[in-house]
Amino acid sequence: MEIKVASVDSVIIYFDNNISKEISNKVKASYAYLKSLNNEAFIDIIPSYSSILITYELLKYDFESIKKYLEEELKNVKVDDDTNSKLVEIDVYYGEEVGFDLQRVASINKLTIEEVINLHSSKVYDVYTIGFLPGFAYLGVLDEKIATKRLETPRKKIPKGSVSIADTQTAVYPKDSPGGWNIIGKTTFEFFDKNLEALSQIDINTKIKFNQISKEEFLKQGGII
């Protein structure tokens, strides 16, 4: 672990320099612990794949003192496996009308569309981090057999709810947005909802499983083709 200056009033804690489930669990446990301190001098705590950034009150700490404080506190973090996480199941319509890249992803990986869908919907994914857009959760890791590079030229508009993959990650676009991920399906599940007190049903401790549904079911749920 290394704590470095990020800006005049923020530090970044690096747990390692690679992406793995083990590091991610360390980040999650540390994030939960830091939140539980209820330290009023913490303005924002932002976890990512292998790091956590903390913005803090300058009146309370300088870089040396917060570094020391964090080093001491983080010794208390116990990393356990995923026992505390909740599973959220998300219905997806994997149809070519909404999964613009489904056929291409299948061809590139020498699979049938049905195999792509099965591989995508049979795994339980961890949330590695949330960012880029409000509610954009980076989920991993995909079965290597369907890992697909992102598009050379990003699309100007990807519809809200589009289920996508890029390299070994998968995600759902929480709103209409430009983007370069491969689109393989669509969901009506809201990843970001202003009407919720917590803003989202998803956080970094959530686990996600995608369920294949029919076009009829998707339309019944209010899905838009």
Residues that bind another protein (CB under 8 A): 4-10, 12, 17-19, 31, 43-53, 55, 58-59, 62-63, 129-136, 138, 192, 194, 199-200, 203-204
For residue 203, the minimal CB distance to another protein (Å) is 7
For residue 88, the minimal CB distance to another protein (Å) is 15
Phi, psi of 68 (to 5 degrees): -65, -45
Nearer to another protein, 196 or 225 (CB): 196
Residue-level length of the chain: 225
Nearer to another protein, 22 or 62 (CB): 62
Both tokens of 225, joined, read: 């083709």
For residue 53, the minimal CB distance to another protein (Å) is 3
Torsion, CA 115, CA 121, CA 124, CA 129, rounded to 10: 100
For residue 43, the minimal CB distance to another protein (Å) is 5
Burial of 219 from C-beta contacts in 10 A (0-12 / 13-18 / 19+): middle
**DSSP alpha helices (H): ranges in the chain?**
21-36, 63-74, 102-108, 113-121, 215-220
Pair type for strands 87-92 and 207-212? parallel
Nearer to another protein, 44 or 80 (CB): 44
Nearer to another protein, 136 or 210 (CB): 136
Burial of 170 from C-beta contacts in 10 A (0-12 / 13-18 / 19+): buried
Nearer to another protein, 109 or 132 (CB): 132
For residue 10, the minimal CB distance to another protein (Å) is 4
Tell me the C-alpha to C-alpha distance, in Å, between residue 139 and each of 8, 71, 96, 127.
32, 29, 22, 5
